[in-house]
A and B are shown apart, each in its own frame.
Chain A
Amino acid sequence: MSTDSSSLSRDDVAHLAQLSRLAVSDEELDLYASQLGVVLGAVARVQDAPTADVAPTTHAVPLTNVHRPDVVAPSLSREQALSGAPAAEDDRFRVPRILQEEA
């Protein structure tokens, strides 16, 4: 990716879109590269903060080891779980092929 920490090139955006499983058009690449460059410039301000000895906060309410009793409880039936699927077959989610065919 580009070395300037607060700008995103068109290629950067294309790569990130690929990582995010987003098919983007050429027009979108141009638009997002320019808009995200501006946003990135603004959010890069976090790097100015005096954080030498500061621990990160991942969660506002720190909780550890949240347990519940290991008991059987009702859950969705197979029919309910599949009810919203775009495609189902043989009581399973049907997906397109996941490997390219060899020539």
Chain B
Amino acid sequence: MSTDLTRLDVSGLRAALADGSTSAVEVAQAHLDAIAATDGALNSYLHVDGETALATAADVDRRRAAGEELGPLAGVPVALKDVVVTEGVPTTSGSKILEGWRPPYDATVAARLKAAGTVLLGKTNMDEFAMGSSTENSAYGPTRNPWDHDRIPGGSSGGSSAAVAGFLAPWSIGTDTGGSIRQPAAVTGLVGHKPTYGSVSRYGLIAFSSSLDQAGPMTRTVADAALMHEVIGGHDPRDSTSIDAPAAPFVEAARQGATGDLSGVTVGVVRELGGEGHTEGYEPGVLAAFEAGVQQLRALGAEVREVSCPSFDLALAAYYLIAPSEASSNLSRFDGVRYGLRVGDDGSHDLDEVMGLTRAQGFGPEVKRRIILGTYALSAGYYDAYYGQAQKVRTLIGGDFASAFADVDVLVSPTSPIVAFPIGQRVDDPLAMYAADLCTLPASLAGLPAISVPCGLSEGLPVGLQVMAPAMADDRCYRVAAALEAAQDAARGGTFLDQLAARS
């Protein structure tokens, strides 16, 4: 029986491509066939270009046969969240206002993956302009969770999570502003890492909240996430917030972690994120799976202690002021002049009216709500009480992290207080939707690296454990996550996603 190429992780694919047991065309075709067969139900992709993917793959195979030097990821397929600008490939950010737009340039993340030899399968679905935690805010319909088609795949990178968990891409790029890589990874059983702010270039990511946005890997293994981070990361002069300093080797950190020895590592469990007195809104099954994960870290030799970060209780309030404020400014670029939709340009309306009509028709309800909220928080007379105060809370949160990291190497929490919820359950209640980001917001506001790694099931649905580290210490996230992953795989006798594969 031949191997199902869509079930291989990237390490497996690279080995099979290198030893000639498969070709880049066969790998691309296997994924395109899987997309054709099952994405009608999942809706994880907004755009798939099979012809170009196969041509790119054929070129890789030809160059390999000719003995030419190839990029480190030659022939490995990849899916990109549709917030990543791609030259000549439709890019919508999940919005009707950009329907049909074909950008004239590549984001740095896209360009680096292209240069490494990857084969772009397509662009994945997302909450409009990355505003959401369920992918229900996409203008192109919701994406479904491969574990249960009646449930959400998380968001905003829900197309990316569903595609990778659903075996329609071996890995993908997500972006994370308040948790949009980690939460969808957690609820679909993937690994998702939000890098240190500034570690991965933002050039060519359609901006939501510029002081928070960061792109990162969504993968089936910690090792794959570390590999992708090394390929997309590093200084980029096109992003003025890009950090110009060498990073610790992530792949090596993951390899070290997978040996299963965490002795000498001190782990802090954050009381405010699901600990004693802070369990409201957390599902018991999530807390039980998280606790089991912490026990495993202890069994691997880590010293575990509880840590208190009192300001984290205010992270949600601060985030939902800062992000909408920055969004209200960023989204002013969608004015119907340079790209995208234009409505009402019939000679009877002036420019102001055309902008208002264009934005009214082009944006969905959540985007409008956040623009209005952000405009309010930034307006004269309210600025100090809302936006200014939120920025001070951001300082307090950074201070709590600094105090905690004086005593511990990493902090851990559940990634999401809840498992994937049913589609439609929270769509009319913005606050209930925002609560899905409770655990991921502190690291976002402080610009710190944080990874989500599967730690068990609750009611048959995946639960993620989050590992947070100091700025530029992403290697600690990879080491601790890889140790937990290896221990769980060994105990289970297979990978986390084998449990999903076994159901279908």
Contacts and interface: CB of A to CB of B under 8 A. Distances in A.
Nearest to B446: A60
Interface in B361-399: 363, 365, 368-369, 371-373, 375-376, 379, 381-382, 385-386, 388-396, 398
A76 B85 CA distance: 14
Interface residues of B, number: 76
B430 to A, nearest CB: 6
Nearest to A82: B338
B388 A42 contact: no
Contacts of A55: 392, 395
B345 A96 contact: yes
Interface string B325-355: 0001000100111111110010101111111
Given A22-B360, A32-B372, A38-B430, A56 B314 contact: no
Contacts of A22: 356, 359-360, 363, 368, 371-372
A84 B395 contact: no
B320 A8 contact: no
Contact of A60 (B314, B345, B447): B447
B106 to A, nearest CB: 12
Contacts of B396: 49-51, 54
A26 B88 CA distance: 39
Contacts of B243: 61
Interface residues on A, range: 35 or more
Nearest to A19: B375
B130 interface: no
B447 to A, nearest CB: 2
B350 A32 contact: no
A60 B375 contact: no
A51 B385 CA distance: 11
A68 B355 CA distance: 35
Best-buried of B101, B197, B360 by chain A (most CB within 10 Å): B360
A16 B325 CA distance: 13
Interface string A14-25: 001111111110
A17 B197 CA distance: 32
Best-buried of A5, A39, A68, A76 by chain B (most CB within 10 Å): A39
Contacts of A66: 240-241
Contacts of A21: 332, 335, 352, 355-356, 359
Best-buried of B237, B341, B393, B430 by chain A (most CB within 10 Å): B393
B423 interface: no
Given A22-B359, A84-B338, A46 B369 contact: no
Interface string A75-102: 0100011011111000001011111100
A43 B315 CA distance: 9
B486 to A, nearest CB: 31
Nearest to A69: B237
B368 A46 contact: no
Contact of B392 (A54, A68, A93): A54
Contacts of B471: 60-61
Interface string B149-184: 000000000000000000000000000000000000
Nearest to B237: A68
Contact of A63 (B241, B328, B430): B241
Contact of A36 (B338, B373, B379): B373
Interface in B87-117: 101-105
Contacts of B393: 46, 49, 51
A86 B340 CA distance: 6
B357 interface: yes
Contact of B375 (A16, A43, A50, A93): A16
B264 to A, nearest CB: 28
Contacts of B196: 61
B211 A60 contact: yes
Contact of B351 (A36, A58, A85, A96): A96
B311 A49 contact: yes
Interface of A: 1, 5, 8, 12-13, 16-24, 28, 31-32, 35-36, 38-40, 42-51, 54-61, 63, 66, 68, 76, 80-81, 83-87, 93, 95-100
Given A45-B314, A51-B389, A63-B241, 8 more contacts: A20-B372, A23-B359, A36-B372, A51-B396, A57-B391, A59-B447, A84-B102, A87-B345
5 shortest A-B CB distances, which residue pairs? A60-B447, A56-B391, A86-B342, A84-B339, A23-B360
5 contacts: A56-B388, A61-B198, A63-B240, A87-B345, A98-B351
Interface of B: 101-105, 196-198, 211-212, 237, 240-241, 243, 311, 314, 316-318, 320-321, 328, 332, 335-342, 345, 347, 349-357, 359-360, 363, 365, 368-369, 371-373, 375-376, 379, 381-382, 385-386, 388-396, 398, 430-431, 434, 445-448, 471
